[in-house]
Chain A
């Protein structure tokens, strides 16, 4: 009798876990995002990297559900490969499970911390930590570790409580030391080997101010 009861208990647990593989709050956020069919917005980009000087740049972005985000600019602009996937389509592209890590305070609000772990080999993502603003049903921050492109940290701010799309995104990324071809250097440009050695990997940031959202 005890054996049967134990077996039933184990089965219930397994079924319960498989039913909660994807966090309900994350699904709610995804559903809220899915309500956005398309949007356009203006971007103001500031690159803050240790050995790159770039003035503030402007671009515009176009999103259409099911398609890649398109950018256009009259300037030369550098746009992060990760961080602008507001629809979480990359995340939901391949199967994954979520693990609830509890709650934390972020920028003065209580957020739910979730680990997202892909269950297959297809995803480029190795692990993601999402910080969910469950009260306003949106992502507050995330940290994505990829298999090929290092780790990215994303910090999102919103203009109003009801907004689903952020008005400010800060993407932090690791950047390797520069490989400079000698024939491109000025004649009096000196190579400081000590500095170059210490520049192995640094953290850079790209700050995006997003305005003039036109949402469909």
Chain B
């Protein structure tokens, strides 16, 4: 039963014009970031290497596809989840708004199956957008700027050889996907709670802003710093620490996946308990 439901949900999602607007927006943002990153990247490198320039010659090019991919990854903090949250929450809020949920419920479909299908559809959409983003960025960044060593500042200046950099970027995209899935799941749960599209978008944007503020806040309590979900949404960044602590990264990602499932279960519970209409 779940497969036909999923097919229907995916069909509906890709029939929506706002889905294509979202995809276009993501690609446009990617283009803008790539252009800005090229000019910004040159200035950043100039500043980063200024101290070393006095004593050293540099051989090789750091303004390359890998640096641009890293800068694109940094855009995952805010731009991408906001767009994905709007599209994902619409999976349920549009049904409330148009009154189509009642019609759906007339079919031989259980409420938990329907809402689970919507969560899975949101997962698939998020994964597809991330894959599209990564693929197009890789093609554009490497074809225009070529490959090369990556320099990243995370407390120290970390240099990675091109192959190592690409491996870490792929892992960071995978970890970034978990972060995006967390935000889209929360937006769908908010959609179930608030029902109205505009209210859900505002609540989703507020949640995203709050997470980004809490991520930077220093609570001074180790347990909060380690396990509070806003602190985990940036786990992908740890792939650019020079010495990889894979156990810690795995723990962060598992915890974030756990929070995602938790928010999805809340949404499924609320949906099954609520009256339609």
A and B bind: yes
Known: A52-B159, A181-B47, A187-B234. Is A79-B54 also a contact (CB below 8 A)?
Answer: no
Q: What are the residues of chain A within 8 A of B60 when measuring CB–CB?
A: 73-77
Does the CB pair B149–A189 fall under 8 Å?
A: no
Shortest beta-carbon contacts, A-B, top 5: A76-B60, A76-B149, A53-B242, A54-B159, A186-B237
What sequence of 0s and 1s flags, for each residue 160-191 of chain B, a beta carbon within 8 Å of any chain A beta carbon?
11001000000000000000000000000000
Closest to B64 in A: A76
What sequence of 0s and 1s flags, for each residue 67-84 of chain B, a beta carbon within 8 Å of any chain A beta carbon?
000000010010000000
> Number of residues in A with C-beta < 8 Å to the partner?
40
Identify 23 residue pairs between A and B in the complex whose beta-carbon atoms are under 8 Å apart, listed by A's number.
Answer: A52-B157, A52-B159, A53-B158, A53-B159, A73-B60, A74-B60, A75-B149, A79-B57, A81-B55, A149-B55, A150-B55, A152-B55, A178-B153, A179-B48, A181-B44, A183-B40, A183-B44, A186-B237, A186-B240, A187-B215, A187-B216, A189-B155, A189-B237
Q: Which of B202-248 contact A (CB under 8 A)?
A: 212, 215-216, 218, 231, 234, 237, 240, 242
Does the CB pair A73–B59 fall under 8 Å?
A: yes
Does the CB pair A185–B55 fall under 8 Å?
A: no
15 more contacts with CB within 8 A, not counting A180-B48, A181-B44, A187-B216, are A54-B159, A75-B60, A76-B149, A76-B151, A79-B59, A80-B55, A148-B54, A150-B54, A175-B51, A178-B153, A185-B153, A186-B153, A186-B237, A188-B215, A206-B56
- Give the number of A-B contacts (CB < 8 Å): 114
By CB atoms of chain B within 10 A, which of A51, A73, A78, A150 has the most? Answer: A78
Which single member of A54, A76, A178 contacts B59 (CB below 8 Å)?
A: A76
Which single member of B40, B55, B161, B215 contacts A173 (CB below 8 Å)?
A: B55
Does the CB pair A80–B234 fall under 8 Å?
A: no
Does the CB pair A188–B216 fall under 8 Å?
A: yes
Q: What are the residues of chain B within 8 A of A190 when measuring CB–CB?
A: 155, 218
Q: What are the residues of chain A within 8 A of B149 when measuring CB–CB?
A: 75-76
Binding site for A on B (CB under 8 A): 40, 43-44, 47-48, 50-52, 54-62, 74, 77, 148-149, 151, 153-161, 164, 212, 215-216, 218, 231, 234, 237, 240, 242
Q: How far is the CA of A32 from the CA of B148 in the complex (A)?
A: 40
Q: What are the residues of chain B within 8 A of A180 when measuring CB–CB?
A: 47-48, 153
Q: What are the residues of chain B within 8 A of A186 when measuring CB–CB?
A: 74, 153-154, 234, 237, 240
Q: Does A176 contact B (CB under 8 A)?
A: yes
Which single member of A59, A175, A178, A187 contacts B48 (CB below 8 Å)?
A: A178
Q: How far is the CA of A27 from the CA of B253 in the complex (A)?
A: 65
Q: Does A4 contact B (CB under 8 A)?
A: no
Q: What are the residues of chain B within 8 A of A189 when measuring CB–CB?
A: 153-155, 237
Does the CB pair B48–A184 fall under 8 Å?
A: yes
Known: A51-B156, A178-B48, A189-B154. Is A59-B59 also a contact (CB below 8 A)?
Answer: yes
Q: Does A72 contact B (CB under 8 A)?
A: yes
Q: Which of A122-156 contact B (CB under 8 A)?
A: 148-150, 152
Q: How far is the CA of A33 from the CA of B155 in the complex (A)?
A: 44
Does the CB pair A77–B58 fall under 8 Å?
A: yes
Closest to B150 in A: A76
Smallest CB–CB gap between A207 and chain B, Å?
14
Smallest CB–CB gap between B37 and chain A, Å?
10
What sequence of 0s and 1s flags, for each residue 50-82 of chain A, a beta carbon within 8 Å of any chain B beta carbon?
011111000100000000000111111111111
Q: What are the residues of chain B within 8 A of A76 when measuring CB–CB?
A: 58-62, 148-149, 151, 159
